[in-house]
Structure 1
Amino acid sequence: MKLDLGSPPETGDFYEAFINALIIAGAGNGTVKLYSTAVKDFLNFIKKDPRKVTADDLNKWITSLLNREGKINGDETERRRAKNVTIRYYIIAVRRFLKWLNVNVKPPIPKVRRKEVRALNEDEIEKILSSCSRVKDKLLIRLLLDTGLRASELLSITIKDIDVNNNMIRVRNTKNGEERVVFFTNETKHLLKKYIRNKNPDDKLFKMSYDALYRKIKRIGKKVGIDLRPHILRHTFATISLKKGMNLITLQKLLGHKDIKTTQTYTHLILEDMKNEYLKVMGNKE
């Protein structure tokens, strides 16, 4: 996280000062929430002046994180991975806090196995869209497929954020705190016009919680025998975009990735297409 947090105070509440520095420096809501939780957990564990933290303190805290019972749904492998991801982010947050305090202690940061990225094929997309009888349901799916928005970003959109004439949406509440613009197709435009008719500019496009959205998308997929989740639709957008020739920089901006390396994870999904293209050009001689 490349934010200029300035210098820490000489005395006072270092936790509050750190969180305020994050907010002033422009950290996104998600970052502030994560860092708040992680640093508070760490301080509650060590129960001492953070300027006097030792490597032993950090290692004991990390061990305590590893030994805690998780409350994450899913199969055992996914639960373990999700827990490791959370611990990794906690450690990164605390390391940033200590660096800000000029404490020269660097905890080890565990690696996390990359999650398998699943994307829909064209037949699956058609099945899902065909199963949507309500305009709202079809619009939900189409917007996520057209834009690659995160579920939380989609749920933050208001009617006034949508420029129907120019097929674009201004996304203000993003993961990294940086406003961006995404676009949608003419098919989605027709659905949008129908759906937002008579709505007020300040109304949310979809008045629902994340859990409600997640359950709805799961139900839509279940009707056609597909394990569907919001992020699969984001993966599908990224994969289709690359297959159709979109460059990585443009895709990075549309997805709202800070680091292009995150965007590059999608390139392995089109390896089979690349292989087939290679064989078509070069031949498949023994």
Structure 2
Amino acid sequence: MSVRKLSTGKWLCECYPNGREGKRCRRQFDSKGEALAFETYTMDQAKNKPWLGEKEDRRKLSELVDLWYSLHGCSLNDKKGRLGKLKIISAGMGDPIASMITPKDWAHYRDQRLRGEIDNGYSTSLATRKVSTGTVNCEHAFLRAVFNELKRLGEWSLPNPLENIREFDQPEREMAWLTQEQILLLMAACEQHGNDELTLIVKVCLSTGARWNEAAKIKSSQISPYKITFINTKGKKNRTVPLTRPLYDELIARKGAPFLPCYKQFYRVIRLAGIELPEGQMTHVLRHTFASHFMMAGGNIIVLQRILGHSDIRVTMRYAHFAPDHLEDAIHLNPLAQMVGNKNLIS
């Protein structure tokens, strides 16, 4: 027994924290309870010694980011952009030992980001510009995903230091879309600009709900009679959307010729048409416009989800309020309306 009573009336605790081959620990106490408590404490302390168990993880955050990139991040569409953002986070936090990062460390890092006290990675005067809470939330999600993915891959066994930290609440962003009159102004501006390829890409986006890059990178193999299949999409799933005969004929007439880059020209035609858009929204307004008019014309929200390629119906539900009968049941199914409809209840 590691704890036993001596002939002197004392209680002896004799234990081997490092195993039988290690150093023996002996101590006498006046009571058995004290001896047992000392044994528990001594053995627990030994368990917390890294050289007795799994080796202490001393990898720095930048090393984990590099490991994540080689094992998973390199497969992402925006792999270079994501890696760059993670490098900024790592440098901004002082490249700490990853196992020693605490929620407090992250809280102070994002506070400094919001106050513009950390380099943004720019080589200009924007290097220490203040960032928005939305930017900080994105960084939070990116770094949290690194730890989660490495844990799934068996490369990280400790808790995720950002797991229980809440992101900042964000107000829902304004979602711009074009009216029929604005669409006519936009198409007239495209014609005035004289870039037929720009005009055709705008038509594809407005007719199919495609993202700008999806429409601008169309190849002849993606076009079949009155249908177009979008590949290499954001959701990594191909989707096929019907085409009108005139639009199909225009695309076929190109004989597979690739579109020339004309993203920046879209900015010019928007200004030429006199259309003002919220900050941060430009070509995506075409996708919003398609979805908004689809619902206003009585389209089905599930069909819209399939056309837009959303994996989560909650994303598509942003457009539900455009439906003609959206929430109209509130007029007929509220309690006062039902009471008026059944006068016997209130007579």
Q: What TM-score comes out, normalization by structure 1 length?
A: 0.73
Q: Cα deviation per residue 1:256-281 (whole Å; 9 max; x = unaligned)?
A: 3232111111123x16x3379889x9
Partner of 2:168: 110
Q: Could you tell me which amino acid in structure 2 is paired with residue 115 of structure 1?
A: R
The verdict on how the C-alpha distance between 1:240 and 1:34 changes in structure 2, with shifts beyond 3 A counting, is same
How do 1:12-51 and structure 2 match up within 5 A? Answer: 13-23=63-73, 28-30=76-78, 32-44=79-91, 45-51=93-99
Greater mean deviation of Cα atoms: 98-107 or 184-193: 98-107
Q: Secondary structure at the match of 2:197?
A: helix
Partner of 1:7: none
Q: Secondary structure at the match of 1:169?
A: strand
How do 1:158-169 and structure 2 match up within 5 A? Answer: 158-169=218-229
State the shift of 1:235 in Å.
Answer: 0.4
| Higher RCO (CA 8 Å, separation ≥ 6 residues) | 1
Does the Cα contact within 8 Å between 1:146 and 1:184 map onto a contact in 2? yes
Structure 2 CA distance for aligned equivalents of residues 119 and 246 of structure 1: 17
Q: Secondary structure at the match of 1:274?
A: coil
Q: Could you tell me which amino acid in structure 1 is paired with residue 213 of structure 2?
A: S
Structure 2 CA distance for aligned equivalents of residues 57 and 232 of structure 1: 38
Structure 2 CA distance for aligned equivalents of residues 249 and 226 of structure 1: 30
2:179 to 105, 121, 128: 121
Unmatched 5+ residue regions in structure 2?
1-56, 122-128, 338-347
State the shift of 1:217 in Å.
Answer: 1.9
The structure 1 segments of at least 4 consecutive aligned residues displaced by more than 6 Å after TM superposition are 275-279
- Is structure 2 residue 300 aligned with structure 1 residue 267? no
Q: Cα deviation per residue 1:85-126 (whole Å; 9 max; x = unaligned)?
A: 222111011122234333342333112221111211222223
Does the Cα contact within 8 Å between 2:209 and 2:290 map onto a contact in 1? yes
2:293 to 240, 265, 274: 240
The verdict on how the C-alpha distance between 1:138 and 1:277 changes in structure 2, with shifts beyond 3 A counting, is farther
Q: Secondary structure at the match of 1:46?
A: coil
- Is structure 2 residue 240 aligned with structure 1 residue 184? no
State the shift of 1:33 in Å.
Answer: 4.1
Unmatched 5+ residue regions in structure 1?
1-9, 72-78
Partner of 1:87: 136
Structure 1 CA distance for aligned equivalents of residues 272 and 65 of structure 2: 48
Partner of 1:76: none
Q: Could you tell me which amino acid in structure 1 is paired with residue 68 of structure 2?
A: F
Structure 1 CA distance for aligned equivalents of residues 212 and 106 of structure 2: 34
Q: Could you tell me which amino acid in structure 2 is paired with residue 58 of structure 1?
A: W
Q: Secondary structure at the match of 1:181?
A: strand
Does the Cα contact within 8 Å between 1:43 and 1:50 map onto a contact in 2? no
- Is structure 2 residue 102 aligned with structure 1 residue 54? yes
The verdict on how the C-alpha distance between 1:144 and 1:21 changes in structure 2, with shifts beyond 3 A counting, is same
Q: Could you tell me which amino acid in structure 1 is paired with residue 222 of structure 2?
A: I
Q: Cα deviation per residue 1:136-182 (whole Å; 9 max; x = unaligned)?
A: 23212111101222223333x2423431424213322x223333333
State the shift of 1:11 in Å.
Answer: 8.1
Q: Secondary structure at the match of 1:47?
A: coil
Q: Could you tell me which amino acid in structure 2 is paired with residue 163 of structure 1?
A: I
Structure 2 CA distance for aligned equivalents of residues 86 and 21 of structure 1: 25
RMSD (Å) for aligned C-alpha atoms: 3.5
Does the Cα contact within 8 Å between 1:164 and 1:193 map onto a contact in 2? no
Q: Secondary structure at the match of 1:182?
A: strand
Does the Cα contact within 8 Å between 1:144 and 1:230 map onto a contact in 2? no
Partner of 1:216: 265
The verdict on how the C-alpha distance between 1:275 and 1:51 changes in structure 2, with shifts beyond 3 A counting, is closer
Structure 2 CA distance for aligned equivalents of residues 22 and 142 of structure 1: 36
From the two aligned structures, give the one with the greater helix fraction. Answer: 1
Q: Which has the larger radius of gyration?
A: 2
Does the Cα contact within 8 Å between 1:119 and 1:239 map onto a contact in 2? yes
State the shift of 1:34 in Å.
Answer: 5.0
Q: Secondary structure at the match of 2:325?
A: helix
Alignment length (residue pairs): 251
